[in-house]
Chains A and B, each alone.
Chain A
């Protein structure tokens, strides 16, 4: 299961999830890998018609207000201004996304990396899922899976960071834009789920995460205070890919 030393695929921009090529939710309805049979569409089995357009968009300073709104409605935790600043880090541009359903923002995922440069076995580089929110009326339509899978995919196949903004208007006062180095692929992911939140637990299990331990007093301001640590040791397997990058 140890990640083989494969040459990183040539970085390229993908247009998946943009307005010109919207996501097809049905492709997310069945998670790849060992949980292939689980269908995520609503239990009744009735189809949604007409099929709405679903797109992903990066976080920016300008849609920060929308992200705040989504998180504050769905998640009972108040995040700090620092949180909202950190998730805008350009190196996370291909991971942190807002999902648009029929041109309305309805969900978002925010992550960060831990031990990114580490090579030790005890502390392997890991993608930590911080928040994953989808508004209630839009659930059971694979939007959450779409967000999570796109983040996992990006973690494994980092896109080159966006080109630095041409800040000609700011004049010479602005510091020279730094071109970011591309990230290394990260093959491990982890998320915290509140004890008792079975739906969320099942959701992560379907996508290849496994329950590992219970973190005591993870949450300080809500009950129950404990969280289950869900870990996906091999993102590649969860995405159903071979080691050489084929699906």
Chain B
């Protein structure tokens, strides 16, 4: 007792109170606790540990969901916790409380520091240690975690989890040998650890994978076979797969082959088993297949197909490998089987072959032929049996999607739509046909017709949420946010806004599509709001992993935990994050270029509408308040905290758009470095921040991925023009660019010729034509751009409608946008649009604005007439 510092000592009475306070906190008697704390503090206002406990009690009594009153209490708790540390900096309690508060705030770094400080004061406190380790793991400080685990083991050597957790910590730290060593010692010391058989199996499996990762194949095999012998492991599933893998690595191919065969017998539809089997024969079919090995592989797979007549996997794999007539026969059999069985996903399954145009062509021919046979009501087999009528229907569906597939060298949307209307005459009740029509119309640029077709599919079955979401998505593509929300609201919670519910449900596609829709409508604030909530969702995913650092080790699910950690490390490489952040960055850079976008420009009509809506909202609020007052509940403080920025205007009015953009971009730099858009977008941020070296690095990285990328192309020109126009370029920048720029573009190159060169080399690629046009616009740096340059740009862009160029509606739209940005006269924009329209007559996006508005109104009104069916959930 004597070593308690003076400022921490309390007289007996207060000391008793303090102990009570601790139990009251344990038993969640927060009100009593606060009272006790205040009594102590009245006499000893400087007692740090009491202040800390008061902060903790206050913090634990906060309401959920957070209310207005709760918010001020939370602030009070935070400041108390900081004050406590100041008053008593050597107490583990004060630091521990600070750490707990930071942890709930999800400020992981501060929490880690606070816990480390707390441990310094009380190094043998086990709960403290456990929290601290979880935080080290969460912040990926593995060596610290190993050290802490070690200490934990020394303090609690009889606990099983002390050992196993140390093994995992070593694994995460990349030290396999040490981890395996610990395991062996653990086996030697703790004989009867009380683990269940599945827990033992999980641990052993994890050790085996660690051996494999360390390249100790012999050891791995020995452990695996012992495990099987002792009955710890079972032969089903993954164990056998690992065994086959290990045998393969040890060069024992024939043994490995037998194991793979056994696995295939367990599940003849698992593609990876066939991959493994073929590897033992020396064929790496996912990489490359030589011409002469083709027939051998096909015959191997065929023998499996014969043994397992119901298995589709070997049949489908054959299609990836076979060529020519052999392919034609195999593909025909595969397609006939799929069509007769009415497998809806047949096209999605087969379109993987379309990377090869020859195979694609053959598939098309086969289906054309099948349709002709089926239309004559003939059977598809040699006997006198008949195909079910659905076979013809699915064949129409297949061919329609085939003809409109983006990989098709000459897509024929008209024929495709014609086939679908024949299919609809055949069977008008199959939603897939309407969905296919929507998809084809979307590809042809007729997004309004697409939305209408999707709506028709939805009306067939009101309780089908998939159709409902699809229809909502297509309405969003048209820009009808209200209509789309009306649809999604049929399935979301009734008491909150549908967009709020979908945000809470972390519905990524909805956030992305609604953001896009707002962006297309010019409502940049709301667009940013949606994109940012998508980014926040990813932060939530990352934070959610915290609980698993303790949970998984307690449940002994090591392999799952390890793969979770690996997954979290590359979380933001997810395509949804990639897409949303690129879209948001694009808005931020636009805001930087043109701050006037931050002010909303409303027409008189919109203004009136806005006012009306505001009035309505005000009235509704008043009504709600009255109702709340009548029932006597809901004082203002008890209300949940309202959304601070319902219209996204705070996001829009940011002072530092480029910094916001950079925040979104940083994870991409690490996790999506193999995608060229990451670098071409990074350039856009850095060049605006005038960080020339960073911008230049982006160009170099992009150049490594694809030197002929159309966006990179004009950015190089832009960079060269920009740098040469900067009068006082810093010396290191100048040196670096002088040295390395020639690797991107010859220093003496004529930029105009360089640009023309791109066009001539990729004269039939729409993206490159647009890139070259942008290059032209960068060549002439005078603004407004003179009409001679504008004409050159226009004539380049008009090539997009040429007959040897595959029509791309998206790129044509960007071309028109580019013309608008450059300030081209309305007449030339209109004539360009007409050129495009004649090339893709179905594309509604090239209609004039009035015509589009009229059609949209018509579509929505038509909707109301047809909309007699509402789901009843």
Q: Which residues of A approach B to under 8 Å, CB–CB?
A: 42, 44, 46-50, 52, 60-66, 68-70, 73, 81, 101-106, 135, 137-138, 169
A137 to B426, CA, bound (A): 7
A104 to B385, CA, bound (A): 21
B341, B388, B463, B872: which has the most chain A beta carbons within 10 Å?
A: B388
**A101 cross-chain contacts in B, Cβ below 8 A:** 388-390
User: For chain B residues 382-435, which have a beta carbon within 8 Å of chain A?
Assistant: 384-390, 392-393, 426-430
The 8 closest A-B CB pairs, nearest first, are A62-B463, A49-B385, A137-B389, A62-B462, A102-B342, A65-B459, A61-B872, A105-B429
Q: Are B385 and A47 in contact (CB under 8 A)?
A: yes
Among B342, B386, B461, B872, which residue has its beta carbon within 8 angstroms of that of A66?
A: B461
A69-B428 contact, Cβ under 8 Å, with A62-B463, A62-B871, A103-B342:
yes
Name the residue of chain B whose CB is nearest to the CB of A104. B430
A137-B427 contact, Cβ under 8 Å, with A48-B386, A50-B341, A62-B872:
yes
**A135 cross-chain contacts in B, Cβ below 8 A:** 426-429
A47 to B460, CA, bound (A): 31
A219 to B353, CA, bound (A): 55
User: For chain B residues 327-342, which have a beta carbon within 8 Å of chain A?
Assistant: 340-342
A104 to B431, CA, bound (A): 9
Q: Could you list 11 A-B pairs, sorted by A, with CB under 8 Å?
A: A44-B386, A60-B463, A65-B460, A65-B461, A66-B429, A66-B460, A101-B390, A104-B390, A105-B429, A137-B426, A137-B427
Q: How far is the CB of B424 from chain A (nearest CB, A)?
A: 9
- The answer to whether the Cβ of B191 comes within 8 Å of any Cβ in the partner chain is no
List 18 additional A-B contacts (Cβ < 8 Å) besides A44-B386, A63-B461: A46-B379, A46-B384, A46-B386, A49-B379, A49-B385, A52-B390, A60-B872, A61-B462, A61-B872, A64-B462, A66-B460, A73-B428, A101-B390, A103-B342, A104-B390, A104-B393, A135-B429, A137-B389
A113 to B299, CA, bound (A): 64
Q: How far is the CB of B455 from chain A (nearest CB, A)?
A: 11
**A66 cross-chain contacts in B, Cβ below 8 A:** 429, 460-461
A47 to B872, CA, bound (A): 41
Q: How far is the CB of B560 from chain A (nearest CB, A)?
A: 34
- The answer to whether the Cβ of B869 comes within 8 Å of any Cβ in the partner chain is yes
A73 to B426, CA, bound (A): 10
Q: Quick one: CB contact mask for B470-514 with A, threshold 8 Å, 1 for yes?
A: 000000000000000000000000000000000000000000000
A106 to B390, CA, bound (A): 10
A70 to B340, CA, bound (A): 23
Q: Quick one: CB contact mask for B844-873 with A, threshold 8 Å, 1 for yes?
A: 000000000000000000000000111111
A69 to B426, CA, bound (A): 12
- The answer to whether the Cβ of B236 comes within 8 Å of any Cβ in the partner chain is no
Q: How far is the CB of B858 from chain A (nearest CB, A)?
A: 21
A102, A104, A135: which has the most chain B beta carbons within 10 Å?
A: A104
Q: Are A52 and B427 in contact (CB under 8 A)?
A: no
Among A70, A81, A102, which residue has its beta carbon within 8 angstroms of that of B388?
A: A102
Name the residue of chain B whose CB is nearest to the CB of A72. B428
Q: Are B342 and A52 in contact (CB under 8 A)?
A: yes
Q: Are B868 and A81 in contact (CB under 8 A)?
A: yes
B426, B460, B464: which has the most chain A beta carbons within 10 Å?
A: B460
Q: Are B460 and A69 in contact (CB under 8 A)?
A: yes
A44 to B379, CA, bound (A): 12
A49 to B390, CA, bound (A): 11
Name the residue of chain B whose CB is nearest to the CB of A135. B427
A98 to B585, CA, bound (A): 51
A44 to B429, CA, bound (A): 27
Q: Are A106 and B429 in contact (CB under 8 A)?
A: yes
A186 to B381, CA, bound (A): 46
Q: How far is the CB of A231 from chain B (nearest CB, A)?
A: 31
A221 to B262, CA, bound (A): 69
Query: In which size bucket is the chain B interface?
Result: 20 to 34
Q: How far is the CB of B870 from chain A (nearest CB, A)?
A: 8
Q: Are B869 and A61 in contact (CB under 8 A)?
A: yes
Q: Are B389 and A138 in contact (CB under 8 A)?
A: yes
**A61 cross-chain contacts in B, Cβ below 8 A:** 462, 869-872
Q: How far is the CB of A175 from chain B (nearest CB, A)?
A: 15
Q: How far is the CB of A81 from chain B (nearest CB, A)?
A: 6
Q: Quick one: CB contact mask for B363-390 with A, threshold 8 Å, 1 for yes?
A: 0000000000000000101001111111
A49-B387 contact, Cβ under 8 Å, with A61-B462, A65-B869, A66-B460:
yes
A246 to B44, CA, bound (A): 93
**A44 cross-chain contacts in B, Cβ below 8 A:** 384, 386
**B461 cross-chain contacts in A, Cβ below 8 A:** 62-63, 65-66
A242 to B462, CA, bound (A): 42
A169 to B872, CA, bound (A): 12
A48-B387 contact, Cβ under 8 Å, with A62-B461, A69-B460:
yes
Name the residue of chain A whose CB is nearest to the CB of B380. A49
A44 to B868, CA, bound (A): 43
**B384 cross-chain contacts in A, Cβ below 8 A:** 44, 46-47
A101 to B430, CA, bound (A): 11
**A106 cross-chain contacts in B, Cβ below 8 A:** 427, 429
A44 to B377, CA, bound (A): 11
**B464 cross-chain contacts in A, Cβ below 8 A:** 62
Among A46, A65, A73, A81, which residue has its beta carbon within 8 angstroms of that of B385?
A: A46
Q: Are B427 and A104 in contact (CB under 8 A)?
A: yes
Q: Are B427 and A48 in contact (CB under 8 A)?
A: no
**B386 cross-chain contacts in A, Cβ below 8 A:** 42, 44, 46-49
**A105 cross-chain contacts in B, Cβ below 8 A:** 429
A52 to B340, CA, bound (A): 9
A64 to B461, CA, bound (A): 8
Q: How far is the CB of A99 from chain B (nearest CB, A)?
A: 11
A104 to B428, CA, bound (A): 10
A66 to B870, CA, bound (A): 13
**B381 cross-chain contacts in A, Cβ below 8 A:** 49
Q: Are A70 and B392 in contact (CB under 8 A)?
A: no
Name the residue of chain B whose CB is nearest to the CB of A47. B385
**A47 cross-chain contacts in B, Cβ below 8 A:** 384-386
**A69 cross-chain contacts in B, Cβ below 8 A:** 428-429, 460
Q: Are B869 and A48 in contact (CB under 8 A)?
A: no
**A103 cross-chain contacts in B, Cβ below 8 A:** 342
Q: Are B429 and A70 in contact (CB under 8 A)?
A: yes
Q: How far is the CB of A44 from chain B (nearest CB, A)?
A: 8
Q: How far is the CB of A21 from chain B (nearest CB, A)?
A: 19
B385, B392, B429, B871: which has the most chain A beta carbons within 10 Å?
A: B429
A169 to B493, CA, bound (A): 10
**A46 cross-chain contacts in B, Cβ below 8 A:** 379, 384-386
Q: Are A104 and B462 in contact (CB under 8 A)?
A: no
A68 to B428, CA, bound (A): 11
A46 to B382, CA, bound (A): 12
**A50 cross-chain contacts in B, Cβ below 8 A:** 340-341, 388
Q: Are B429 and A104 in contact (CB under 8 A)?
A: yes
**B388 cross-chain contacts in A, Cβ below 8 A:** 48-50, 52, 101-102
**A49 cross-chain contacts in B, Cβ below 8 A:** 340, 379, 381, 385-388
**B868 cross-chain contacts in A, Cβ below 8 A:** 81
A208 to B75, CA, bound (A): 83
A50 to B387, CA, bound (A): 7
Name the residue of chain A whose CB is nearest to the CB of B426. A137
B386, B464, B869: which has the most chain A beta carbons within 10 Å?
A: B869
Name the residue of chain A whose CB is nearest to the CB of B869. A65
A102 to B384, CA, bound (A): 21
A106 to B393, CA, bound (A): 12
A46 to B386, CA, bound (A): 6
**A81 cross-chain contacts in B, Cβ below 8 A:** 868
A121 to B473, CA, bound (A): 59
**B392 cross-chain contacts in A, Cβ below 8 A:** 137
Q: How far is the CB of B867 from chain A (nearest CB, A)?
A: 10
**B390 cross-chain contacts in A, Cβ below 8 A:** 52, 101-102, 104
A171 to B871, CA, bound (A): 18
**B393 cross-chain contacts in A, Cβ below 8 A:** 104, 137
Name the residue of chain A whose CB is nearest to the CB of B379. A46
A44, A49, A101, A103: which has the most chain B beta carbons within 10 Å?
A: A49
